[in-house]
Structure 1
Amino acid sequence: MFPLGNIYLCPNRDMKMKGKNIITERDRQATERRLLKTVGEMIAENGFEKIGINAVANCSGVSKVLIYRYFGSVEGLMAAYIRQHDFWINFSLELPDRSQLPLFLKTMFRRQIEQLRSNPVLKRLYRWELSSENEMIVKIREQRERTGLKLIEKVSRLTGFPEKEIAVMASILTASITYLVMLEEFCPVYNGIALDGDSGWEQINEGIETLIDKIFADDRKKH
């Protein structure tokens, strides 16, 4: 798919916006999956700035009527992509017992980094989210907030640390990870850490693990 002014050409696609080739409302789930896949491909190749309803309809072969019906707008489609792939919205709140909690937290942060680094579309959509303020974005943030509060409450109960302390530590770590992953496309080095290579991210992972070990070591001293 290549942009040509405001027109997007979609090579190697069988579906075009011509008569009977337009997908109609037969299988909503399949159509939604197709639209989410298409918008992901478009953002991966050209970013989100020039995406419009006509481009999405042309590249997916789905009528504009269905895009509006299922997602409300192109912004609604992009928000749906975030909900589908967002680490915290889809995070399972099943936690292990206290003895396994340090390993669980280390693995959790590693997976957040791996998932976000491996999805350039999501990184770009997070930048879009930062520059947007609408009802769909508010709902996404509310979903993350609900997950975060439940996770903080559970970790606090397992460790005995006050929820306020857990909230601050969690916010610093999760926000830093998200910021640095979004930054790596434009800034190869941050505080001497190579963001454009696996070695730098392993350094970050090891630092997070050291911090978790120190927190739990201090906790053991108190008890």
Structure 2
Amino acid sequence: MTKKANITRDRSGTERVIVAAAKRVLAEQGFSAFGVNSIARAAGCDKQLIYRYFGGLDGLIEVLGREMSDQFGDMLGPIDPATCVTYSDFIEHMLLQLLRALRQSELLLRIAAWEIADASPITRKLAQVRGAALAAWVKDQRGPIAPPTDRDVGAINAALIAAVQHLALSAHAIGEFGGVRLADEADWSRVETAVSTLVRATYSHPDASVQRG
């Protein structure tokens, strides 16, 4: 009995195999190779199963995006209410966890790079999903901690997130940025200290230290 014959017997198992194959194709070949045929080959199944189970490539992207969203939220992890009491604490935790999540996941890094270098409907969709996952995590974890009202926190946080993301991308691509080495844990400890320093300096004003109500 062939592998393709075996794989069609268990729908849920087959769906997991196809989603895993989609991730491999993205990580190893990029969006230019991301299609029904290449995913079916990687999964070892008939391409018609992708249409039957997911409704085609768009449906598979939806499922892939949701799964990556859940994984992304898990990587960010919960905050500790005992130590995260100000907006500065909250943003510091978020940025450091985001940096660690990007370092741990080559797929997240590749998607982030492709969003910039090779924008497509697929990259835009996955970017929206990741953005929604981050927003959901913030809403769930921030609780009563309110942002300061005397500064543009949206623009500030976008700049901080972009900096963290670019450092992770630079480390993956060339191992350094701006003369700062990004190779071992000592290097990343230095970067994390810098991120914490920036956040505290940015949100150290009394209005930024909003206590829990």
TM-score over 0.5 for the pair:
yes
Match among 24, 39, 47 for residue 8 of structure 2: 24
Distance 1:139 1:110, change over 3 A: closer
Letter in 1 for 2:168: V
Deviation at 1:160, TM superposition (A): 5.2
Deviation at 1:201, TM superposition (A): 2.3
Distance 1:78 1:178, change over 3 A: farther
Deviation at 1:45, TM superposition (A): 4.1
Determine the C-alpha separation between the residues in 2 that align with 1:52 and 1:106: 38
| Conservation of the 8 A alpha-carbon contact between 1:39 and 1:56 | yes
Equivalent residues in 2 for 1:195-214, closer than 5 Å: 195-214=182-201
| Conservation of the 8 A alpha-carbon contact between 1:15 and 1:59 | no
CA RMSD of aligned residues (A): 4.0
Kindly provide the CA deviation profile for residues 26-71 of structure 1, in whole angstroms up to 9, marking residues without a partner as x. Answer: 433x322222222333444444443443332233133211213444
Match among 40, 65, 72 for residue 23 of structure 2: 40
| TM-score, normalised relative to structure 2 | 0.70
Match among 158, 161, 167 for residue 171 of structure 1: 158
- Secondary structure class of the residue paired with 2:205: helix
* Aligned length, in residue pairs: 206
Deviation at 1:75, TM superposition (A): 6.7
More helix by share: 2
| Conservation of the 8 A alpha-carbon contact between 2:61 and 2:122 | no
Deviation at 1:206, TM superposition (A): 0.7
| TM-score, normalised relative to structure 1 | 0.68
Structure 1, gaps ≥5 residues long: 1-13
Structure 2, gaps ≥5 residues long: none
Determine the C-alpha separation between the residues in 2 that align with 1:163 and 1:84: 37
| Conservation of the 8 A alpha-carbon contact between 1:123 and 1:181 | yes
Letter in 1 for 2:184: G
Q: Does 1:148 align with 2:97?
A: no
Kindly provide the CA deviation profile for residues 83-133 of structure 1, in whole angstroms up to 9, marking residues without a partner as x. Answer: 423489636798848962344432322221111111112211223333233
Higher relative contact order (CA 8 A, sep 6+): 2
